[in-house]
């Protein structure tokens, strides 16, 4: 084959600038993030060291366009950042992930005034931006939310609560979904920007969680919260449509997070079985162990390619993005749960202790099967895409 054939094969190789980005983020994560990961988990504290390092390097919100002071990273580059940080510490990887999730509605449908006001502080690392969709009785069934927003003069007044909000209390800004027309069903929900300092905004206690303990998860409580009218994101009544479109793009970042967690666990397990000796030889010499490692690596690489392919579709906003976004998140998170569980098994009794990071990685991996849409919901999204 001639040059055309070689060019065709290039699509399966990470572009040079993305490969260099991966190396830079990995070096930063190994030096500035990984050393604090165990303490962040044990103390359940915000990963301040990682946040400071990510901000200094411009990796805390790389997706923000250059027009608003950001790095202008494409969807694949953003996934690479999240993947490499998650390899060291899943909690820390939620910094760039939640910043993209919170700001995506503005990028998709926000006015130029809203973007110019809220994106630059995020790009500068002065503020984080969270996403407030779920409620206690409206998780997968988002359309049954009860948070209300009513007009009051030239503004809006919001009342209700949002549950399981990643970054709540740390983030300065929140995209909040609320019912503006109770009789309109799914077309009666709108999106708003709420600031942590707005009157009537408060936060519940931190959730006591299985994993990602360094990322605060709290309720956002809205009690007569009055905001200006220009905080509406997109058109009134199109909030749920915007929320779901946002998730089409951002659940890919959870796939990237899952890939990173799985890679970190595989790295630890591979090193361990080469060093651990039983019956007079390294554990890695046993075929049963080799088969486990092979399966772990095979499923991990399939998941990585699925995530990267979905990221490319996100960048192009392809019509088949809903299927591929759901598939990437679902496959990668199921893989992360399997790989981390197998990593614990390969380390044996040591894997079950906090002296090694794989037990933390296993606990962290579980949430990737749940948030930004459970994997049961992802399968519904995929099936409906096929049957449509």
> Catalytic residue numbers?
372
Q: Is 374 exposed, middle or buried (0-12, 13-18, 19+ CB in 10 A)?
A: middle
Phi, psi of 222 (to 5 degrees): -120, 115
> What span, in angstroms and rounded, lies between the C-alpha atoms of 163 and 137?
9
Please name the residues in contact with 63: beta carbons below 8 A apart, sequence gap of 6 or more: 70, 71, 73, 75, 78, 96, 99, 100, 103
Integer Cα distance of 181 and 177 in angstroms: 12
Rg over alpha carbons for the chain, rounded to the nearest Å, is 21
HSE, CB side, 13 Å, CA atoms: give it for residue 137: 5
Three-state DSSP class for residue 29: helix
Measured distance CA(105)–CA(252) in Å, rounded: 15
Token pair, residue 200, equals: 């009537």
């Amino acid at each position: 084959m001639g040059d055309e054939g070689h060019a065709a094969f290039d699509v399966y190789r990470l572009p040079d600038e993305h490969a260099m980005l991966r190396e830079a983020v990995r070096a930063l994560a190994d030096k500035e993030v990984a050393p604090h990961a165990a303490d962040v988990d044990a103390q359940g504290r915000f990963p301040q060291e990682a946040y400071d390092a990510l901000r200094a390097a411009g990796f805390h919100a790389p997706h923000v366009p250059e027009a608003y002071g950001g790095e202008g990273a494409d969807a694949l580059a953003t996934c690479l950042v999240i993947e490499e940080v998650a390899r060291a510490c899943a909690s820390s990887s939620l910094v760039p992930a939640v910043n993209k999730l919170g700001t995506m509605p503005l990028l998709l449908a926000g006015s130029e005034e809203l973007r110019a006001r809220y994106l630059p502080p995020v790009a500068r690392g002065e503020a984080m931006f969270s996403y407030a969709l779920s409620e206690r009785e409206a998780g997968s069934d988002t359309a049954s939310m009860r948070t209300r927003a009513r007009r009051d003069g030239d503004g809006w007044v919001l009342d209700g609560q949002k549950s399981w909000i990643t970054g709540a209390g740390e983030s300065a800004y929140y995209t909040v979904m609320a019912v503006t027309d109770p009789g309109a069903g799914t077309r009666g929900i709108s999106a708003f920007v709420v600031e942590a300092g707005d009157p009537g905004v408060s936060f519940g206690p931190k959730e006591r969680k299985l994993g990602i303990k360094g990322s605060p998860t709290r309720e956002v409580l809205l009690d007569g919260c009055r905001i200006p009218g220009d905080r509406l994101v997109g058109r009134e009544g199109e909030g749920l449509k915007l929320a779901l479109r946002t998730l089409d793009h951002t659940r890919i970042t959870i796939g990237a997070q899952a890939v990173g967690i799985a890679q970190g666990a595989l790295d630890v397990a591979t090193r361990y079985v080469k060093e651990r000796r039983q019956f007079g030889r390294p554990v890695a010499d046993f075929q049963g162990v080799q088969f486990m490692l092979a399966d772990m690596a095979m499923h991990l690489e399939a998941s990585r390619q699925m995530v990267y392919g979905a990221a490319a579709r996100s960048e192009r906003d392809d019509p088949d993005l809903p299927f591929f976004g759901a598939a990437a998140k679902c496959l990668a998170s199921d893989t992360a749960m399997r790989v981390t569980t197998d990593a614990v098994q390969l380390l044996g009794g040591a894997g079950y202790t906090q002296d090694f990071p794989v037990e933390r990685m296993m606990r962290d991996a579980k949430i990737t099967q749940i948030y930004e849409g459970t994997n049961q919901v992802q399968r519904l999204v995929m099936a409906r895409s096929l049957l449509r």
